[in-house]
């Protein structure tokens, strides 16, 4: 088991119990996402964690597939989906780098609180574009802490080396947006609930 998987497996139970930091913003993001859903859609969420978001979206699409590197996160997610009797959901233990999409492509891909945890985040944005059908959407929420917070980078790097903290990328909003457009996406919606909070983006692959 690699360091990333170990870290998320270790904190999965406490992560599942943690209340959502800003409930209002979370609900609005769910609502904004659903504006792009149709009942015939095949959706994939990577870094789905304990599955709460995928489970709440499931009634609005044909099928939602959650992937994550942490078996413990996925066990919690599967337990919640079973308890809620949600049948159009599946989970898979895999990294976004190793995931194989269906041949016909996906209608929507979600990546929430995950891009800033990936050292190859630009490549992942480009790969997501290749996994979507034309007209498909990529919905993300990403912490951009590349300003003053960059001073914390050495501390975070030490914490990550010893497996106490996740590896974090200190992204800047302008670089994040540039990566979307470089990958061929059109930015459909961009919203930051409050200064310093994660940036919510809906990006579309042109038809």
Structure tokens at 77: 């997610």
- The reply to whether 70 sits near ligand SAM by the rule CB under 6 A is yes
Interacting stretch for ligand SAM, rule CB under 6 A, among 61-69, 82-90, 126-134, 192-200?
A: 61-69
Closest CB to ligand SAM among residues 42, 70: 70
- The reply to whether 68 sits near ligand SAM by the rule CB under 6 A is yes
Q: Is 184 left (phi over 0), alpha (psi -120 to 50) or beta?
A: left
Closest CB to ligand SAM among residues 67, 131: 67
- Site size toward ligand SAM (CB under 6 A) is 18
With beta carbons less than 8 A apart as the criterion, state whether 145 and 170 touch: yes
Q: Who's near 67: CB < 8 A, 6+ residues apart?
A: 44, 45, 46, 47, 48, 91, 92, 93, 94, 95, 96, 99
Could you give the string, one character per residue 16-55, with x where binding to ligand SAM holds by CB under 6 A and - elsewhere?
------------------------------xxxx------
Alpha carbon dihedral 70, 164, 194, 13, in 10-degree steps, equals: 40
Structure tokens at 181: 């457009």
Closest CB to ligand SAM among residues 40, 130: 130
CB of 206 to ligand SAM, least distance (A): 26
Closest CB to ligand SAM among residues 42, 141: 141
With beta carbons less than 8 A apart as the criterion, state whether 204 and 136 touch: yes
Three-class SS state of 74: helix
Could you give the string, one character per residue 108-147, with x where binding to ligand SAM holds by CB under 6 A and - elsewhere?
----xxx--xx-----------------------------
**Which positions touch ligand SAM (CB under 6 A)?**
4, 8, 46-49, 67-70, 73, 95-96, 112-114, 117-118
């Amino acid at each position: 088991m690699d360091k990333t998987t170990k870290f998320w497996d270790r904190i999965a139970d406490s992560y599942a119990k943690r209340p959502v930091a800003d409930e209002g913003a979370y609900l609005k993001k769910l609502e904004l996402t659903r504006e792009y859903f149709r009942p015939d859609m095949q959706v994939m969420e990577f870094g789905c964690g304990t599955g709460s978001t995928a489970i709440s979206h499931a009634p609005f699409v044909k099928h939602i597939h959650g992937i994550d590197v942490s078996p413990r996160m996925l066990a919690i997610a599967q337990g919640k989906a079973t308890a809620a009797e949600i049948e159009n959901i599946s989970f898979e233990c895999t990294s976004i780098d190793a995931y194989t999409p269906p041949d016909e492509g996906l209608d929507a891909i979600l990546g929430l609180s995950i891009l800033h945890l990936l050292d190859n985040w630009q490549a992942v944005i480009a790969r997501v574009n290749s996994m979507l059908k034309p007209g498909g959407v990529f919905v993300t929420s990403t912490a951009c802490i590349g300003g003053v917070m960059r001073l914390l980078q050495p501390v975070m790097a030490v914490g990550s080396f010893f497996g106490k903290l996740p590896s974090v990328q200190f992204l800047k909003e302008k670089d994040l947006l540039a990566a979307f457009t470089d990958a061929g996406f059109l930015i459909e919606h961009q919203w930051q609930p409050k200064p310093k909070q994660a940036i919510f983006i809906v990006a579309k692959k042109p038809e």
